[in-house]
Amino acid sequence: MASSVRPLPSLRGTDHAAPSCAFCYALAILHRLRHTRGVNFLAHLYLADPTPASMIGNLLPDLVPGPLNRGVQAQLRTGVDSRLHTVGHRGEHRGGSPGLDPGVLAGAINHKRVDAFTDTHPVFARSRARLRPRHGRYSAILTDMFYDHVLAKHWNRYHDQPLDEFIDRAYTAMSEHTHLMPEPMAAITGRMIEQDWLRSYSTADGMRRILTMMSVRFSERLARSVELEHAVEDLQRHGDDFTDDFHEFFPELTDYVRRVKSQAGTERLVH
């Protein structure tokens, strides 16, 4: 199917509280429940430029607290390359601290644009509608995760580097460049590497493990039972439909990322 050319979507502001180190994955997603988007770490890393700064920046909006996110969003709206302060453990700005690395900021901007494009895409809406009757407010999060599952399973269709090597490269970029991260993000990416979140996407058992962990944490924080692990049944029942949706959607997304970079005068092929 030929990719249609869609107008550049508008960008939305987001605001997150800083997750603690424990149960980092579940907490990061819990904070996203305020909005329509979930987390799809593998896809965001795929869409990054192959540099540590870009990889970190493309994860940053999901993994940092509100004050820094508002600063990134302001730059998206105005196009001004003003420098941002780093963020302390309590989310406060620390005057006089160095700003975000330009490559990290560019990656964060790319992440925001990818989210906005996805929010407005009819194929993503179709996938989400498949989950909404059973999973309601969690349907966007689950769709993001299911898309990462499909990407992991069909990785060789989209990337020349084997998935294990790509994940190792991403983990190395994070572990060796924590100086490019706000402090809360460094704690979370450390847990990401320790628990090997990215490889968990590739199997149903891995998805069930993540969803079970999320459910436990959501249940504790929301004071009611949440059982997202049952969504694996939807993934297995409608696996072909989610796979078809992803293969229709993802080439349009990668084309969009290339087009935005070209319009900005910073064209780099996505791999």
Report pLDDT digits (tens) over 21-38.
334 444 455 444 444 344
Find the farthest-apart pair of alpha carbons in the chain and give their distance in angstroms, rounded.
54
Q: What pLDDT score was predicted for residue 99? A: 67
Q: What pLDDT score was predicted for residue 189? A: 93
Q: What is the mean pLDDT of the chain?
A: 78
Find out whether 147 and 127 touch, Cβ atoms under 8 Å: yes
With CA atoms as reference, report the closest residue to 182 among 109, 115, 108.
Answer: 108
Q: Does some domain include residue 7? A: no
- Give the tens place of pLDDT for each residue, 256-265: 999 998 887 6
Q: Does some domain include residue 234? A: yes
CA pair distance 268, 79, nearest whole angstrom: 19
Q: Which long-range contacts (CB under 8 A, 24 or more apart) does 158-166 make?
A: 158/46, 158/250, 158/254, 159/46, 159/271, 160/271, 161/271, 163/202, 164/199, 166/45, 166/46
Domain count for the chain: 1
Q: Does some domain include residue 9? A: no
* H and E: helices and strands count for the chain: 14, 0
Q: Does some domain include residue 146? A: yes
- Give the structural domain span for 129: 24-263
- Give the tens place of pLDDT for each residue, 85-99: 444 333 333 333 346
Q: What pLDDT score was predicted for residue 168? A: 98
Q: Does some domain include residue 36? A: yes
Instruction: State both tokens at 27.
Output: 């907490």
* Mean per-residue pLDDT, 159-168: 97
Name which residue leads in pLDDT, 181 or 67.
Answer: 181
Q: What pLDDT score was predicted for residue 269? A: 45
With CA atoms as reference, report the closest residue to 115 among 144, 142, 152.
Answer: 144
Angle, helices 183-195 vs 163-176, to 10°: value is 150
CA pair distance 181, 178, nearest whole angstrom: 5
The count of residues in the chain is 271
Q: What pLDDT score was predicted for residue 2? A: 40
Return the SS3 of 229.
helix
Q: What pLDDT score was predicted for residue 199? A: 94
Name which residue leads in pLDDT, 183 or 123.
Answer: 123
With CA atoms as reference, report the closest residue to 113 among 11, 258, 237, 254.
Answer: 11
Q: Does some domain include residue 271? A: no
Number of Cβ atoms within 10 Å of the Cβ of 65: 23
Find out whether 249 and 1 touch, Cβ atoms under 8 Å: no
* Mean per-residue pLDDT, 43-64: 93
CA pair distance 21, 19, nearest whole angstrom: 7
Name which residue leads in pLDDT, 251 or 20.
Answer: 251
- Does 242 score more than 80 pLDDT? yes
* Mean per-residue pLDDT, 94-118: 79
Q: What pLDDT score was predicted for residue 238? A: 96
Q: Does some domain include residue 18? A: no
Q: Does some domain include residue 13? A: no
- Give the tens place of pLDDT for each residue, 201-221: 999 999 998 888 888 877 877
Q: Which residue has the tokens 């180190």?
A: 21
- Give the tens place of pLDDT for each residue, 115-152: 999 989 999 999 999 999 999 988 998 999 999 999 99
